[in-house]
Structure 1
Amino acid sequence: MSNSPTTEVATAVDAATNPSADDVILECRNLSVSFEMDRGTSRVLHDVDIDIRRGEILGIVGESGSGKSMFASALLNAVVEPGRTDGTVTYHSPDDESVDVLELEKGPLRTLRWEEISMVFQGAMSSFNPTMDFREHFVETLEAHDYDVAAGLERAKELLADLYLDSDRVLDSYPHELSGGMKQRVLIALSLVLEPEVLVMDEPTAALDLLMQRSIISLLSELRDKYDLTMVFITHDLPLVTKLADRIGVLYAFEFAEVGDTTEMVRDPKHPYTRALLNATPNLDAPLSEMRPIAGAAPDPVAVPAGCPYHERCPMATPECEDVKPPMESVTKTHEVACHHWLDIDDEIPLSTGVER
Structure 2
Amino acid sequence: MAIDQTTDRRVYSADDPIIEIRNAAVTYDEGRSYVLDHVSLELERGEILGVVGESGSGKSMLASSLLDAVPSPGHLTGEITYRPDGEAPINLLELEKADRRSLRWEDISMVFQGAMNSFNPTLDLRTHFEETLRAHDADIKKGLGRAEELLEDLYLEPDRILDSYPHELSGGMQQRALIALSLVLDPDVLVMDEPTAALDLLMQRSILLLLSDLQEKYNLTMVFITHDLPLVAALADRMAIMYAFRLVEIGDTRDIVENAAHPYTRALLNSTPNLDAPLSEMQPIDGQSPAPINMPTGCAYHPRCPLATEECRTEVPDYHEVETDHGSACYHWQASYDEVPLLHENSPGDTTGGVDE
TM-score (norm 2): 0.92
Residue 200 of structure 2 is aligned to residue 224 of structure 1? no
- Following superposition, the deviation at residue 288 of structure 1 comes to 4.2
* Partner residue of 2:264 out of 264, 273, 288: 273
The one of 143, 148, 151 equivalent to 1:157 is 148
Q: Deviations over 1:50-104 (max 9, x none)?
A: 0001000000000000001100001100011111000011000112310111111
Residues 69 and 202 in structure 1, CA contact (< 8 A), matched pair in contact too: yes
Contact 2:254 2:347 in 1 (8 A): no
Contact kept? 1:321, 1:340, Cα under 8 Å:
yes
Q: Is 1:21 equivalent to 2:14 in the alignment?
A: yes
Equivalent residue in structure 1 for 2:237, among 237, 246, 253: 246
One of 122, 125, 128 as aligned partner of 1:134: 125
SS at match of 1:293: coil
* Distance in 2 separating the partners of 1:187 and 1:240: 20
1:125 aligns with 2:109: no
TM-fit CA distance, 1:106:
0.7
Opposite residue 307 of structure 1, the aligned amino acid is G
Secondary structure at 2:302's aligned position in 1? coil
**Structure-1 separation of matches of 2:197 and 2:295:** 27
Map of 2:26 onto structure 1? 33
- In the alignment, what sits opposite 1:310? 301
| Residues 66 and 298, structure 1, Cα contact 8 Å, conserved in 2 | yes
Q: Identical aligned pairs, as a percentage?
A: 62
Pairwise CA distance, 1:289: 4.5
Q: 1:287 deviation in Å?
A: 4.4
Determine the C-alpha separation between the residues in 2 that align with 1:54 and 1:125.
Answer: 30
How far the C-alpha of 1:354 sits from its partner, in A, is 2.9
Consecutive unaligned residues of structure 1, counting only runs of 5 or more, are: 1-19
| Structure-2 separation of matches of 1:36 and 1:247 | 33
Per-residue Cα deviation, 1:30-66 (whole angstroms, up to 9, x for no partner): 10001117xx822100000000010000000000000
**Counterpart contact for 2:134–2:140, Cα < 8 Å:** yes
Shift of 1:118: 0.3
Per mean C-alpha deviation after superposition, the further-off stretch among 82-91 and 300-309 is 300-309
What letter is aligned with 2:195?
A: P
- Asked if the contact 1:283/1:354 (under 8 Å) is kept, the reply is no
CA distance in 2, matches of 1:171, 1:272: 47
Q: Distance in 2 between matches of 1:119 and 1:263?
A: 26
- What is the TM-score normalised by the length of structure 1? 0.92
CA contact (8 A) 1:73 1:79 kept: yes
Return 128-137 or 346-355, whichever deviates more. Answer: 346-355
Alignment partner of 1:321 is 2:321: no
Instruction: Indicate the residue corresponding to 2:246 in structure 1.
Output: 255
Structure 1 segments of 4+ aligned residues over 4 angstroms from their partners: none
Q: How far apart are residue 286 of structure 1 and its match? A: 2.3
Report the counterpart of residue 159 of structure 2 in structure 1. 168
C-alpha separation in 2, matches of 1:100 and 1:67: 22
**What is the CA–CA distance in structure 1 between the aligned matches of 2:161 and 2:279, rounded to whole Å?**
44
Q: Is the 1:69–1:234 contact (alpha carbons within 8 Å) kept by the matching residues of 2? A: yes
Say if 1:114 and 1:356 are closer, same or farther in 2 by CA, change over 3 A.
closer
In the alignment, structure 2 segments of 5+ residues that lack a partner are: 1-12, 349-357
2:134 pairs with 1:143? yes
The one-letter code sitting in structure 2 at the alignment partner of 1:33 is: V
C-alpha deviation, 1:182, in angstroms: 0.2
> CA–CA distance in 2 between the matches of 1:304 and 1:96?
41
1:308–1:326 contact (8 Å) kept in structure 2: yes
Match of 2:8 in 1: none
Q: Are the equivalent residues in 1 in contact too, given 2:58–2:245 (CA < 8 A)?
A: yes
Identify which range, 278-287 or 101-110, moves more after superposition. Answer: 278-287
Decide which of 111, 128, 144 is 2:102's aligned counterpart.
111
1:144-175 C-alpha deviation (Å, 9 max, x unpaired) = 11101000000000000000000011111111
Number of residue pairs aligned between Structure 1 and Structure 2:
336
- Which deviations, in whole Å up to 9, do the C-alpha atoms of 1:221-261 show, x marking residues without a partner? 00000000000000000010001100000000101110010
1:302 aligned counterpart, secondary structure? helix
Segment drifting more, 93-102 vs 221-230: 93-102
